[in-house]
Structure 1
Amino acid sequence: MSARILVVDDIEANRRLLQAKLEAQYYTVIQAENGPQALEVARKELPDIILLDVMMPGMDGYEVCRRLKEDPATAFIPVVMVTALSDTEDRVRGLDAGAEDFLTKPVDDFALMSRVGALMRYNAVASELRQRQANGLGGGLDLESTKEESDQPARIFIVDDNPRASARLAAVLREAGHTVVTLAEAGTMGDLSRLGVDLMILSLPSKSFDALKLCAHFKVTEATRAVSILLICDPEDRERAAKGLEIGASDVILTPVDKQELLVRVRTQARRARYIEMLRRRVDKGLELSVIDQLTGLYNRRYMMSQLHQFMQRSVMGGRPVSVMMADIDHFKSVNDTYGHDAGDEVLQEIATRLRENVRPMDIVCRPGGEEFLVIMPETPGDLACAAAERIRRAVAMAPFIVGRAALRIQITVSVGVSTITGEQDTIADLTKRADQALYQAKTTGRNRVESTAA
């Protein structure tokens, strides 16, 4: 997976060194030599990752990072701080500014490529979800609401066969308000989806299990694939940690574990996990909105047409016939005129309820628009479709509709037209036109009746 990476450093030799390393792995490199230029280039080019030097004249890396994260256009670009500073306080300050990680000069090739790879996997998921939102499948996420939700305490599972070490980590995290379960407390890995885990802390030095195999297992298992994994490793075990990042771990922290660095890294990973989850929820909601009629909860015309196409294709390729039932509320305009549009909406909602209660699980109930409803009946010949339509007609007419604050009792009936596919030359337009013609016949011959072109 390639990427466009912005390298920001005031020393040209440093920029060219990182450029050579990254281009050797087929990444595309963009350069900036100071903070203001970095902000301008980031907004214009929207790189996939930013490698940002800390010690720069004028505007240092911390300030650049803060401004990037405050700008909606660049807030979601992962930032890795690159610095000669190695104190924990410097790392924590960078992570507090919004950076995803730190690389220490001289930059280790293996650590650099592993970190870039891990960030690219995260960015690929986030970018795809944001693109779906941009295409109309969900509302946008504003920075304030995202930050407020993602900063909530995390649910953490610690996997370490050293009870004392895991207890110490748990105490630090619980003191900060996080919900923590250790392997010693749980007794087994069990069903992590049941625990609702945001983050897993996995100890590489554990002797009783292979931490990298566990990491790989969690990343290919559906229930735990989205859970962020923070690896704890010894300083001399960097290669295994880098391998863990390649497998799918999100971050690494070295022993001895510093309390402040642990809290900041946990917060960063929890934010990312929550952000991805929020994007997924918004996209799922957008998908639902794109096929569901919001008033009645039935499927809309868009979904109706796609399903009709599939069932008709299946029918002409040797499957059983598909029928449709088109229903229209009798004298619905007089309901709106007499009782108001709110009462009319209640009638539409009750019609939808009675339809759902009187069809099979395999049938698809739709509201193409207005007071018109359509039921797709797969594997249903004309005679059975007419019997189902008559059952629905009686269900609507048998009991009055209770509407409004005054609990008015209104008698409602529907007229119904039924049609069935006739052969491989039949189209959706043909099928629905015949149902509409049958419906018109039901209307003109007295209403509150079923007519069919398929009987």
Structure 2
Amino acid sequence: MRILIVEDQAPTALYLRRTLERLGHDPVVASDGYEAWRIVQEENIPVVITDWVMPGLDGPQLCRLIRKEARALYTYVILLTSKHDRRDRLEGLRAGADDYLVKPPDLEELVVRLGIAERFLSLQHELEAKNRQLAELASRDGLTGLKNRRCFEDCMRSAQSALDFRNVPFSVIILDVDHFKQYNDTFGHPAGDEALKSVAWTLRLNVRENDTLARYGGEEFAILMPGTSADEASALAERLRSTIEGTKWPARPITASFGVATSDQDSADLAGVLEMADRALYHSKSLGRNRVTHGRSLETSASTVDEEPVMVARK
């Protein structure tokens, strides 16, 4: 285990380093609190054994810095002190220390304290792993395994931030499986579920790794594409439409209708982008389904009298 020794007295630091090495640990020594703080920021240090009284940054102050900073992995801190007063020990614990050792440290007690630290860190890592697993499950759709709507909307907000601060555009595709209610009524809901899972798998195979693919609700899916222009997004939507149409489905042919929208600095409202994609989807369905419409073609047609909307692809 990697252990940071923070001790300004060279004999004590040497004793601790050699003792920890004999116990099979990997110690690193810092001669003061400032050097220790730099090491903690640069490395993954699971355990810190720090002297209380040091020039500059003392042990309790170092504890407070460690606890103040949000860290992915917990750092277990043991205060090494010659202070015997109960109030002093409480002060150290209030500063964020997990345990303490009285100087000079007894070997047997050091082994026991480190054993406690290892058990605590092991439980902490297990808890963090379970929390990550729960967070992942909470972001997934139970049927298809894709991201769910809530996760998709979180990713949309991140894309919005990238647009606001770095001027990185993004595009959104919303697609709807055509006549899905009829499919369910004809072949049954289990067959409908299998069809949705197959559509999800087809989409997964054809989107980029950095795109966010989600089940948006029912038979509706959504794709977020960071750094993607309107033309690129429309081309991807057409490729997905063609792939779904060309797949050999077991019960009957399945097709999907697509609506596409692209956000830039001139149209940077999240709700507006989703509304544009939704209107484009509705337009695709109103013209017979199994086609792609970009929302900007609707804006163009609205400004041109008696001009038919420009369709990216039609079937």
Please classify the TM superposition score into its range, dividing by the shorter chain length: 0.5 to 0.7
1:233 to 1:269, Cα distance in 2 relative to 1, 3 A: same
1:182 to 1:376, Cα distance in 2 relative to 1, 3 A: closer
The SS at the match of 1:374 is: strand
- Kept in 1: contact 2:281–2:292 (CA 8 A): no
Whichever residue aligns with residue 431 of structure 1, its letter is: M
Whichever residue aligns with residue 3 of structure 2, its letter is: F
The corresponding residue for 2:25 is 180
Separation (CA, whole Å) in 1 of partners of 2:52 and 2:160? 56
1:441 to 1:309, Cα distance in 2 relative to 1, 3 A: farther
The corresponding residue for 1:416 is 258
1:438 is the counterpart of 2:289: no
Separation (CA, whole Å) in 1 of partners of 2:39 and 2:77? 16
Query: Once the two structures are superposed, what CA deviation does each residue of 1:104-162 show, in whole Å capped at 9, x if it has no partner?
Result: xxxxxxxxxxxxxxxxxxxxxxxxxxxxxxxxxxxxxxxxxxxxxxxxxxx35151653
1:224 to 1:268, Cα distance in 2 relative to 1, 3 A: same
Whichever residue aligns with residue 296 of structure 2, its letter is: A
Separation (CA, whole Å) in 2 of partners of 1:398 and 1:180? 60
- Kept in 2: contact 1:203–1:233 (CA 8 A): yes
Separation (CA, whole Å) in 1 of partners of 2:66 and 2:156? 40
Whichever residue aligns with residue 256 of structure 2, its letter is: V
The corresponding residue for 1:325 is 173
The SS at the match of 1:266 is: helix
Separation (CA, whole Å) in 1 of partners of 2:27 and 2:157? 52
2:3 to 123, 136, 157: 157
Separation (CA, whole Å) in 1 of partners of 2:157 and 2:82? 59
1:217 to 1:181, Cα distance in 2 relative to 1, 3 A: farther
Whichever residue aligns with residue 418 of structure 1, its letter is: V
1:298 to 1:439, Cα distance in 2 relative to 1, 3 A: farther
1:451 is the counterpart of 2:293: yes
Gaps of at least 5 residues in structure 1 are 1-154, 402-407
Alignment size in residue pairs: 278
Q: CA RMSD in A?
A: 5.2
- Greater RCO, 1 or 2 (C-alpha within 8 Å, sep 6+): 2
The SS at the match of 1:298 is: coil
Whichever residue aligns with residue 157 of structure 1, its letter is: I
- Kept in 2: contact 1:326–1:372 (CA 8 A): yes
Write the mapping of 1:32-431 to structure 2, written as runs, cut at 5 A. Answer: 155-159=1-5, 161=10, 162-171=13-22, 174=23, 180-183=25-28, 197-204=45-52, 212=59, 215=63, 218-219=66-67, 226-235=74-83, 244-305=92-153, 324-329=172-177, 333=183, 340=191, 343-344=194-195, 346-357=197-208, 361=210, 363-377=211-225, 385-396=233-244, 413-419=255-261, 430-431=275-276
Separation (CA, whole Å) in 2 of partners of 1:431 and 1:312? 16
Could you tell me how far 1:280 is from its partner in structure 2?
3.8
- The two structures have a TM-score, normalised by structure 2, of 0.60
Could you tell me how far 1:301 is from its partner in structure 2?
1.6
Separation (CA, whole Å) in 2 of partners of 1:243 and 1:346? 58
The SS at the match of 2:207 is: helix
Could you tell me how far 1:389 is from its partner in structure 2?
1.6
Separation (CA, whole Å) in 2 of partners of 1:309 and 1:450? 25
- Kept in 2: contact 1:325–1:435 (CA 8 A): no
Separation (CA, whole Å) in 2 of partners of 1:282 and 1:218? 24
Query: Once the two structures are superposed, what CA deviation does each residue of 1:335-366 show, in whole Å capped at 9, x if it has no partner?
Result: 97699578536514422313433x8x4x5432
- The two structures have a TM-score, normalised by structure 1, of 0.45
Whichever residue aligns with residue 344 of structure 1, its letter is: A
1:239 to 1:341, Cα distance in 2 relative to 1, 3 A: same
- Kept in 2: contact 1:325–1:374 (CA 8 A): yes
- Kept in 2: contact 1:156–1:197 (CA 8 A): yes
- Kept in 1: contact 2:279–2:295 (CA 8 A): yes
- Kept in 2: contact 1:204–1:232 (CA 8 A): yes
Whichever residue aligns with residue 328 of structure 1, its letter is: D
1:237 to 1:342, Cα distance in 2 relative to 1, 3 A: same
Whichever residue aligns with residue 230 of structure 1, its letter is: I
- Kept in 2: contact 1:354–1:392 (CA 8 A): no
Separation (CA, whole Å) in 1 of partners of 2:131 and 2:158? 24
1:183 to 1:372, Cα distance in 2 relative to 1, 3 A: same
1:344 to 1:168, Cα distance in 2 relative to 1, 3 A: same
Gaps of at least 5 residues in structure 2 are 30-34, 298-315
